[in-house]
Amino acid sequence: MRQGWRWYGPHANVPLDAVRQAGATDVVSALHEVPIGQAWTVAEVAERKALIEIAPAGRSQLTWSVVESIPIPDAVKRKGAAARAEIEAWIASLEAVAACGIKVICYNFMPVVDWTRTDLDHVIPTGATAMRFDQDRFAAFDLHILARDGAENDYSAADKERARAVHAAMSEADIAELTSNIASALPGSTTEPLTIPAFRERLRSYAGIDAARLRSHLIGFLEAVTPAAEARGVKLTLHPDDPPRSLFGLPRIASTADDYAALFDAVPSPANGMCYCTGSLGVRADNDLPAIARRFAARIHFAHLRATKREGDGRSFHESAHLEGDVDMLGVLRELVAEDRRRSPGETIIFRPDHGHRMLDDLTKQVSPGYPAIGRLRGLAELRGILYALDAL
């Protein structure tokens, strides 16, 4: 398995030397500055690849191995294969990436909002901070700040009373912060920042789109793009929903093993693969993570390794340390290592530590939520330790 690190480009507050010092060899990145829906060019990809891979004298070599992500425009999620212009632009980006020798592309199919958290600096017992999804704060946003049409039908009477109390206790600054956390697009997001009016309008545009229809749109997209991926030796890896359940009354269709099985059955191309994210899948107690890794081993080309801890209500959770929380990381890595040993060197699984705690010096620095250097460094070191032990067996 190759050790990766997500890097947000030349203006990121974590430089490439930090990637080297963490011990990673592979970079996971994207052209985040290109607007969603605009085709990437070979020249743009080649320029970024050179920045990553042409090392200064005396520095360790890095390889840009995974594109995370080429965003899928909202029109594709709403219209499926009928969004022809948007899909053609996406294929053009794929072709540019492949022309530069990058063979793994991660993407997601979450409608309107990407990965979602209510709190970005929740203080944990160590004094570090973690990202958190608090169900009552989320409900307060949905019911009282966004005031979504029909939201009251998605919550029990007890849920609504708790949300009302949470909202009543909020200051204007609290409301602004919560709105920013949910609607303004977190780092790496493949959806657009939204104002509250725009958020409501985007939700209305999904009227009548249930899980079956959204899945058919994803299948239509895959049927259009996988021939181009196959022809160029590219693996497409679908990231799970985060969190893996409906938000804002919208369907989510990459949350369980059955969701992935349906997509692989519909589009059996070997280019149709999985980004195996333990943190996202681990939020659901009914997801058996080692079993999912075993079942879809041949489809896993990229892995996000992190852990989440479900809280008392079963719906709230926070990011735990990589070897803590509800993820059986040892069991997961046993499955991934077993699969990796069956592969040729050119097909090895690339993984990266995901969502680290904000800790030590990063507590006093400006950092990207979920992506501070030190917390991820700790996570990678812990994961590397397990891999070294498994290699010795």
- Which entry of 167, 217, 301, 304 is annotated as an active-site residue? 304
**SS3 annotation, 45-102:** HHHHHHHHHCCCCCCCCCEEEEEECCCCCHHHHHHHHHCHHHHHHHHHHHHHHHHCCC
- Which entry of 242, 277, 318, 326 is annotated as an active-site residue? 277
Active site (annotated) includes residue 304: yes
- Which entry of 167, 217, 239, 357 is annotated as an active-site residue? 239
In the chain, the amino acid numbered 78 is: R
103, 234 Cβ separation under 8 angstroms:
yes
In the chain, the amino acid numbered 67 is: V
Active site (annotated) includes residue 167: no
Active site (annotated) includes residue 11: no
> In angstroms, how far is CA 308 from the centroid of its own chain?
14
Where would I find the H helices in the chain? 16-22, 42-53, 74-79, 84-99, 135-140, 157-168, 172-183, 196-204, 211-231, 257-266, 278-282, 289-295, 329-341, 373-392
- Which entry of 114, 354, 357, 362 is annotated as an active-site residue? 354
Q: For residue 133, what is the enclosing H or E element?
A: strand 129-133
What does the alpha-carbon distance between residue 255 and residue 246 come to, in Å, rounded to a whole number?
9
Active site (annotated) includes residue 322: no
* Residue 271 CB coordination number (10 Å): 22
Active site (annotated) includes residue 388: no
81, 224 Cβ separation under 8 angstroms:
yes
Closest CA to 72 of 131, 33, 114, 11: 114
Active site (annotated) includes residue 301: no
- Which entry of 107, 206, 260, 371 is annotated as an active-site residue? 371
Catalytic site positions: 239, 277, 304, 354-355, 371
